[in-house]
Structure 1
Amino acid sequence: MNQPKPLHKGATVGILSTARKISIAEIEAAIELLHSWDLKVVLGITIDLEEHQFAGDDMTRVLNFQQFMDDDSIDAIWCARGGYGTIRIIDHLDFSRFIQQPKWIIGYSDVTVLHAIGQQLRFETAHATMPINVAENSPASLESLRKVLFGENLNYTIPTVYSNKKGIATGELIGGNLSMLYSMTGSNLSLDTTGKILFLEDLDEYLYHIDRMMMNLKHNKYFEGLSGLIVGGMTDMHDNTIPFGKNAEEIILDVTSEYDFPICFNFPAGHVDDNRALIFGKKAQLEVASEVSLRF
């Protein structure tokens, strides 16, 4: 797996949007954060641009991302927000030059599409908070992103919860937003999970649809040969008038009940303020016991 070079003081981070529109005012806290780390900031043409709900039309978002990938003066690419739209541009991007010397691509949620292409082309990516969230993020969340960007050790120890399934797993960490992974199954962006640790999170979904998506991953053999499973925030879940009968944790345990890999629930990552950074594509060790540790 090809790892991006660590940033240094004076390096430049490019902020753009591959999906929903966003204003400069909404990313001021992120710009201040990068400046506090002695980093320079370049804003893409997609910031403050509007095409219905998107940050410009598809080709404008393609051109902005391609420009940032190919510009040697930009050392990392930070996606400003999620929403929807990255899947519309992914087939138009040329990564042939980028993979020779990759730089950090940072984001989560809809940015799961870019994490998936990282898996296909074998370069590491940063699943981490985005500029729109910085003002609400916990200090630990922001510090974890800084550690990733500057190449410092990233390890976590968190309390266990009753629903966890004990065990030890090693392998590359992959995954992202469950809805996005579900939408990409059967395509060239579908993940190879064999021998890997899978991370899942989601937001604003009905419980029956969590069950549907988990069953889809099961039918696509995502859990066969999987080393371990980490579940982050399952945030703002909904139920129908006639209850589904299980919460998100119970659904995941039910769908994966025939497998013996360890499972960690309530990991601080995803659509939560305490959104800790993860390095996708990097080998990690997950230990689920009286406490949970994740070490890269």
Structure 2
Amino acid sequence: MKIPKALKKGDRVAIIATARKVNPKDLNPALRLLESWELIPVLGSSIGLSSHQFAGTDEQRAQDLQKQLNDPKVRAIWCAKGGYGTVRLLDLVDFTAFQQDPKWLIGYSDITALHSHLNKLKVASLHAQICLGIETKTPNTQASLKQLLFAKNWCYTFNGHSQNKPGTAKGILVGGNLSVLFSLIGSRSDLDLQHKILFIEDLDEYLYHIDRMLQNLKRNGWFNKISGLIVGGMSDMNDNTIPFGQNALEIIQEAVAPYDFPVAYNFPAGHLEENQAIALGKKVQLDVSRHQSELKYI
């Protein structure tokens, strides 16, 4: 797995929109944050474009991503906004130059499509807060992103959960938004899961759909391959008039009950006030108990 080089003061960070359109004024907090870290923000050509809900056409967004991937002066690419649309770019972009000179790709939610694709290309990336909303998140949200960009250690110690399945596992960290990962199954951007630690999170899904996705992962053999599971925010779930009968965590617990890998709930990442950055593609150790869990890079 290729790990992008650590950033240093004076490096350029491109801000682009791979999905929904963005008002440039809304990016001011992210610009100020980068400048406070003595980095140079560069707005991509997709910022400010509009094509229905998207930040320009697929071709325009792909051209911007391609430019930033190929520019040797740009050392990280920070996605401005999620929503939907990133998957539409994957087959329009040539990642050859990027594989030779990888740089950090930053984002979460819909950006999971890119993270999963980069996993197949054997390049690490950062599952972290998008530009929008960075000013509303906890200090650890920003601090973890800065630490990982500048290649400094970051260890995650988080509260246990009654549904935790205790144990220890080692492996390369992969994952992201459950719905996006589900949508990529069978494609050439599907995750490589053998001996991996899988992280999942999601937002605003119906509980029956969470169950549908978990049953699909189970039947596709995901849980026969992974070494551990980390569950982040499962936020703002929806139910029908006739209740499903389980919440999201109970659905996950039931789906993975037959397997012997450790499972940690309450991880501080996802569509939460605390959305700590994690380096997908790096090797980690996961230690899970009922009272506390820890994730560290090794």
TM-score by length of 1: 0.99
Residues in 2 aligned to 1:212 and 1:205: alpha-carbon distance in whole angstroms: 11
Match of 2:293 in 1: 292
Confirm whether residue 123 of structure 1 aligns to residue 123 of structure 2: yes
Cα displacement string for residues 224-251 of structure 1 (whole angstroms, at most 9, x for unaligned residues): 0210000000000011000000000100
Structure 1 residue aligned with 2:13: 13
Residue in structure 2 matched with residue 102 of structure 1 by the alignment: 102
Alignment of 1:180-199 (within 5 A): 180-199=180-199
Deviations 1:14-63 (A, max 9, x none): 00000000111111100000000000010011111111000000000010
1:126 Cα offset (Å)? 0.2
Q: Deviations over 1:240-263 (max 9, x none)?
A: 000000000100011111101111
Structure 2: tracts of 5 or more residues without a match: none
How far did 1:267 drift? 0.6
| Aligned equivalents of 2:190, 2:71: Cα separation in 1 | 29
Identify the residue that residue 35 of structure 1 maps to in structure 2. Answer: 35
Q: CA RMSD in A?
A: 0.7
Partner residue, 1:24: 24
Task: Name which of structure 1's ranges 103-112 and 159-168 shifts more when overlaid on structure 2.
Answer: 159-168
Judge conservation of contact 2:117–2:190 (CA < 8 Å) in 1: no
Shift of 1:186: 1.2
Superposed, which structure 2 residues align to 1:204-219 within 5 Å? 204-219=204-219
C-alpha distance in structure 2 between counterparts of 1:100 and 1:46, whole Å: 24
Matched, 1:46 2:46: yes
2:93 alignment partner in structure 1:
93
Quote the Cα distance in structure 1 between the aligned partners of 2:296 and 2:98. 27
Structure 1 unaligned regions, length at least 5 = none
Question: Which whole-Å CA distance do the structure 2 matches of 1:114 and 1:87 have between them?
Answer: 7
Mapped to 2, the partners of 1:234 and 1:199 lie a distance apart of: 12
Cα separation, 2, equivalents of 1:60 and 1:190: 25
Superposed displacement of residue 87, structure 1: 0.7
**1:252 aligns to what?**
252
CA distance in 1, matches of 2:260, 2:57: 45
String of CA shifts for 1:90-110, please: whole Å, max 9, x gaps: 101101111011000000011
3-state secondary structure, aligned to 2:169: strand
- Matched residue type, 2:111: V
Structure 2 counterpart of 1:67: 67
| Aligned-partner Cα distance in 2 for 1:190–1:131 | 26
Q: 2:104·2:125 contact (CA, 8 Å) conserved in 1?
A: yes
Asked whether the equivalents of residues 158 and 266 of structure 2 are also in contact (C-alpha less than 8 Å), the reply is no
What is the deviation of 1:264?
A: 0.7
1:113 is paired with a residue of what secondary structure?
helix
Is the CA contact (8 Å cut-off) linking 1:202 and 1:233 kept in structure 2?
yes
Q: Secondary structure at the match of 1:209?
A: helix
Q: Deviations over 1:268-291 (max 9, x none)?
A: 101112100000010000000131
Cα shift at 1:133: 1.6
- Letter aligned with residue 294 of structure 1: L
8 Å CA contact 1:106–1:128 kept in 2: the answer is yes
The residue that corresponds to 2:236 in the other structure is 236
My pick for the range that moved more, 237-246 or 186-195, is: 186-195
**Corresponding residue SS for 2:250:** helix
Q: Offset of 1:7 from its aligned partner?
A: 0.3
Q: Give the residue type in structure 2 aligned to 1:203.
A: L
Indicate if the aligned counterparts of 1:203 and 1:236 stay in contact, CA closer than 8 A.
yes
- Distance (Å, rounded) in 1 between the aligned partners of 2:104 and 2:210: 30
8 Å contact from structure 1 (residues 192, 222) kept in 2? no
How far does residue 218 in structure 1 lie from its aligned partner after superposition?
0.8
The answer to whether 1:273 aligns with 2:254 is no
What percentage of residue pairs aligned between the two structures are identical? 51
Distance 1:101 1:37 in 2: 23
Distance across 1 between alignment mates of 2:266 and 2:242: 26
Contact persistence 1:199–1:230 (CA under 8 A): yes
Checking the alignment, whether the CA contact within 8 Å between 1:23 and 1:47 is kept in structure 2 is yes
Tell me, what secondary structure is at the counterpart of 1:3? coil
